[in-house]
Amino acid sequence: MFYTTLSSKEEAAFIARKIIENQIPVCVNIIDNVSSIYKWEGKLENCDEVIMLVKTLEVHSDKVCKLIKDCHPYSVSCLISFNVESHNVGFNNWLKGHC
């Protein structure tokens, strides 16, 4: 699973479509209306963002990571990947059947 933040739902949808169009089997969730507070260049920032979660098999991780990095508009983007164990056999089967 990959986690990243973007400044708009449109940016997230653009990247999600690029991933799917490149035949990388995934499921993407876009979570709107997230408040982010952080320091950037010495100043406290507060902005609205969206979260994009990308679910795929580990075999596709390099492709997903590269595509997100290539399309992400931030000069320094948050891109975190982590392994997740699903306890839902039906979801596991669906994901494996589409990957």
**Tokens 């035949």 map to which residue?**
23
Least confident of 4-8, 48-52, 63-67, 90-94: 90-94
User: What is the pLDDT averaged over residues 59-86?
Assistant: 92
Mean pLDDT across the chain, nearest whole number? Answer: 91
Q: Residue 33 CB: number of other CB atoms within 10 A?
A: 9
CATH number, position 9: 3.30.70.120
Cα–Cα distance between 97 and 32 in angstroms, integer?
29
Cα–Cα distance between 65 and 88 in angstroms, integer?
25
User: What is the pLDDT averaged over residues 82-86?
Assistant: 83
Tell me the residue range of the domain where 26 lies. Answer: 2-98
pLDDT over 70 percentage in the chain:
98
Q: Count up the domains in the chain and report the number.
A: 1
pLDDT over 90 percentage in the chain:
69
User: What is the pLDDT averaged over residues 78-94?
Assistant: 85
